Amino acid sequence: MISKIIEEALNKQVRVEAESSQIYLSMACWAEVKGLEGISKFMYAQSDEERQHMLKLVKFINERGGHTKISDLTGPPVEFGSFKDMFQELYKHELFVSESINELVRVTLEEKDYATHNFLQWYVAEQIEEEAMARTILDKINLIGDDKGGLYLFDRDIQQLTVSSAASDMLGG
């Protein structure tokens, strides 16, 4: 059985993951109407992944005797300026999600809820990977600069992008 404090903290994270899914979905739509098919597909996949992260939390809360409460979401931005601006926004958002996960881990230690602490280690490792991927993408975008040919190749190649972080290697991911 999870405590009310842990249940409340996990429910906040459910909202963060749901809003992350919505942000990526909005980015996918923006890229799609700009003709950036590869970036769009990448963002749709990221949106689905964030939703899966949310559902994993939902099931955990309910299975541990808590009650997941689905809350209103803050609407994501619908315009992103340039694709570089969009990916900078993505990176900032991933840093925010990491802070949120780290705060949740802190609460589990304060509450001595080691089962939830253990469960959250997957999220900690996942965020290391997400941040590394966002940094790699920004590095590639900075290499491209204003080269339209480079943007074309980036848009084509982003669908195959995978980033292996030290954490995922360590966890066998």
| Spatial separation of the C-alpha atoms in residues 132 and 36, rounded to whole Å | 22
Q: According to the annotation, is 131 in a ligand binding site? A: no
Q: Where are the alpha helices (DSSP H) in the chain?
A: 4-33, 37-63, 83-110, 114-144, 148-157, 166-170
Q: According to the annotation, is 49 in a ligand binding site? A: no
Q: According to the annotation, is 53 in a ligand binding site? A: yes
Q: According to the annotation, is 130 in a ligand binding site? A: no
Q: According to the annotation, is 129 in a ligand binding site? A: no
How is 15-63 classified by DSSP, letter by letter?
HHHHHHHHHHHHHHHHHHHTT-HHHHHHHHHHHHHHHHHHHHHHHHHHH
Q: Which residues are annotated as a binding site for Fe cation?
A: 17, 50, 53, 94, 127
Q: Which residues are annotated as a binding site?
A: 17, 50, 53, 94, 127
